[in-house]
Amino acid sequence: MKFFIDSVDIQAIKKFTLSGMVDGVTTNPSIIAKSGKDFKEVIREICEIVPGPVSAEVTATEAKLMVEEGLILSKIAKNVTIKVPLTWDGLEACKTLSDKNIMVNVTLCFSAQQALLAAKAGATFISPFIGRLDDLGEDGMDLIKDIRAIYDNYPSLKTEILAASIRSADHVRRAAVIGADISTLPPSVLDELAQHQLTDKGLKAFLDDWEKTGQKIL
């Protein structure tokens, strides 16, 4: 499974890139707004750090304008992925941009049939929102299962499943077991993946025993 960081925190992106854990980055207007930074400059800076796909979302809602915005954003760097909403206008924009060999991430997916439409429109990535479905009392992982089954039924569909709205390490585990191609997660959840109380306990025991030997490696 590939990991995308859902953040514009440059320091966090650099930190996890050093450990080989960053395959891409996703952003959205809400994340950019909270950062208080210039949108295009943030995308440009991230693209210089991460060689993988970096999602930049359009803000237009009409297909023609989405395409115009997408073309502008795609010129920031070769690894920019244009993010569009799963609406009919978004699907039209997806088709137009993908026909120009521009990567497209179709976001705000909440049903398997929506994911099928995105794949047929040529989406590079489909972003089903797990956490938001959980918030409604549904199991967001059921959506990942259905999309995986549909895409596997039709090998000609090349769209990758990008599990989004990840809230916990368990979300990542379950998405990986089902076969999602990618999880996009905030730095806090990525950090959580390496944590286990038995790891901490075991490491402390090893270090305590080593200290008793009085030896040093360096």
CA gap 211, 38 in Å, rounded? 50
Most distant pair of Cα atoms in the chain: their distance: 71
Nearest to 118 by CA among 69, 82, 166: 82
Residue with tokens 């306990």: 201
First to last CA, the chain: 36
Quick one: tokens of 202? 């075991």
Q: Which residues touch 5 (CB under 8 Å, ≥6 apart)?
A: 12, 13, 16, 22, 24, 25, 26, 184, 185, 186, 187, 190
What kind and span of H or E run contains 72? Answer: helix 63-74
Is 64 catalytic? The answer is no
Catalytic residue among 78, 83, 100, 158: 83
Question: Active-site residue numbers?
Answer: 83
